[in-house]
Structure 1
Amino acid sequence: MNFLLQTKSLCTIYLVPGMLDLLWLVVIYLNQE
Protein backbone atom coordinates (compact mmCIF):
# COMPACT_ATOMS: atom_id res chain seq x y z
CA MET A 1 0.00 0.00 0.00
CA ASN A 2 2.88 2.34 0.83
CA PHE A 3 4.51 1.58 -2.53
CA LEU A 4 1.30 2.48 -4.36
CA LEU A 5 1.15 5.79 -2.50
CA GLN A 6 4.77 6.56 -3.44
CA THR A 7 4.07 5.75 -7.10
CA LYS A 8 1.01 8.01 -7.09
CA SER A 9 2.97 10.91 -5.60
CA LEU A 10 5.78 10.40 -8.14
CA CYS A 11 3.26 10.47 -11.00
CA THR A 12 1.81 13.71 -9.61
CA ILE A 13 5.28 15.28 -9.36
CA TYR A 14 6.01 14.43 -13.00
CA LEU A 15 2.55 15.09 -14.46
CA VAL A 16 1.81 18.50 -12.93
CA PRO A 17 4.78 20.34 -14.53
CA GLY A 18 3.96 18.64 -17.83
CA MET A 19 0.38 19.89 -17.64
CA LEU A 20 1.61 23.40 -16.87
CA ASP A 21 3.97 23.28 -19.87
CA LEU A 22 1.10 22.14 -22.10
CA LEU A 23 -1.13 24.93 -20.79
CA TRP A 24 1.63 27.48 -21.44
CA LEU A 25 2.03 26.24 -25.03
CA VAL A 26 -1.72 26.63 -25.60
CA VAL A 27 -1.63 30.20 -24.25
CA ILE A 28 1.30 31.10 -26.54
CA TYR A 29 -0.46 29.51 -29.54
CA LEU A 30 -3.68 31.44 -28.90
CA ASN A 31 -1.77 34.71 -28.48
CA GLN A 32 -0.11 34.28 -31.88
CA GLU A 33 -3.37 34.29 -33.83
Structure 2
Amino acid sequence: RIDDKVITEFFLKVMDNYMKWCKYLRIRSAWS
Protein backbone atom coordinates (compact mmCIF):
# COMPACT_ATOMS: atom_id res chain seq x y z
CA ARG A 1 0.00 0.00 0.00
CA ILE A 2 1.07 3.57 -0.53
CA ASP A 3 2.73 5.23 2.42
CA ASP A 4 0.72 7.96 4.14
CA LYS A 5 3.77 10.21 4.08
CA VAL A 6 3.94 9.94 0.30
CA ILE A 7 0.26 10.82 -0.01
CA THR A 8 0.64 13.78 2.33
CA GLU A 9 3.67 15.16 0.49
CA PHE A 10 1.93 14.72 -2.84
CA PHE A 11 -1.19 16.48 -1.54
CA LEU A 12 0.82 19.39 -0.15
CA LYS A 13 2.70 19.75 -3.43
CA VAL A 14 -0.54 19.80 -5.39
CA MET A 15 -2.09 22.35 -3.03
CA ASP A 16 1.02 24.53 -3.24
CA ASN A 17 0.91 24.50 -7.03
CA TYR A 18 -2.83 25.21 -6.93
CA MET A 19 -2.36 28.25 -4.70
CA LYS A 20 0.43 29.60 -6.92
CA TRP A 21 -1.78 29.12 -9.99
CA CYS A 22 -4.68 30.95 -8.32
CA LYS A 23 -2.41 33.86 -7.42
CA TYR A 24 -1.07 33.92 -10.98
CA LEU A 25 -4.58 34.02 -12.44
CA ARG A 26 -5.65 36.77 -10.02
CA ILE A 27 -2.62 38.88 -10.96
CA ARG A 28 -3.30 38.35 -14.67
CA SER A 29 -6.99 39.24 -14.37
CA ALA A 30 -6.05 42.35 -12.39
CA TRP A 31 -3.78 43.50 -15.24
CA SER A 32 -6.26 42.86 -18.04
TM-score normalised over the length of structure 1: 0.72
Number of residue pairs matched? 32
- Which stretches in structure 1 are left out of the alignment for 5+ residues? none
Distance (Å, rounded) in 1 between the aligned partners of 2:26 and 2:12: 22
Query: Matched residues, percent identical?
Result: 3
What is the aligned partner in structure 1 of residue 10 from structure 2? 11
What whole-Å deviation, never above 9, does each CA across 1:1-33 have from its counterpart, x for those lacking one? 362x22211101111111000000000000001
The runs of at least 4 aligned residues of structure 1 exceeding 3 Å deviation read: none
What is the aligned partner in structure 2 of residue 22 from structure 1? 21
- Which stretches in structure 2 are left out of the alignment for 5+ residues? none
Higher helix residue share? 1
Task: State the superposition RMSD in angstroms.
Answer: 1.4
